Amino acid sequence: MKKAGLIICLLLLIGCKSKTITRDTEDLKVKKVSGAEIDANQQRKAYELGKRVLETCNTSKFKPFNETEVTQSVRENTTEERLTKTCTRFRQYYGSFIDLKLDGVYKTKQEVIYRYHALYTKKVANKELRVFVNEDNLISAIKSMDWDEKFDSKITDQ
């Protein structure tokens, strides 16, 4: 009986052996793109849509995105209610939104990331806006975060 229990435990131990998972790190690599490699139409689109979101804080009016501009998930997550909540906090801490200043363009295997320094009326405002454009030339994410001089690609994971 002890031998049978020992054999069953050994079989369970062998059967539950952990597997090694390989991950393609090429998908996660982020490289900075030079000015010559930037698609001007895509850059304009990223700027206009990013600015549209932040200008909502000044005007309290948001023109909803359509399917030719952003992905379905961005349309679902960018609601007037959510923007109003965020804008209330932003206006209180940072003042009125002025403009976006392009800091850099970065590329992964599947996306282009436009990194903007968001300019506000209060000098304490030090915010950044990242606009992610997928392979279909649709905005796949828009993220606002505190500004850091160094681009941290770990924050790009979605």
Domains and CATH numbers, the chain: 38-148 (3.10.450)
- Distance from C-alpha of 73 to C-alpha of 121, rounded to nearest angstrom: 31
Longest dimension (CA), the chain: 79
pTM more than 0.85 = no
Write out the chain's pLDDT in tens, 158 residues.
666 555 665 455 455 555 555 544 455 578 888 777 888 899 999 999 999 999 988 888 888 899 999 999 999 988 888 888 888 888 899 999 999 999 999 999 899 999 999 999 998 889 999 999 999 999 999 999 999 888 776 544 44
- Distance from C-alpha of 20 to C-alpha of 54, rounded to nearest angstrom: 44
123 contacts 132 by C-beta, under 8 angstroms: no
CA angle 105, 108, 111 (to 5 degrees): 75
CA distances from 151 to 6, 22, 29, 130 (A): 55, 26, 13, 11
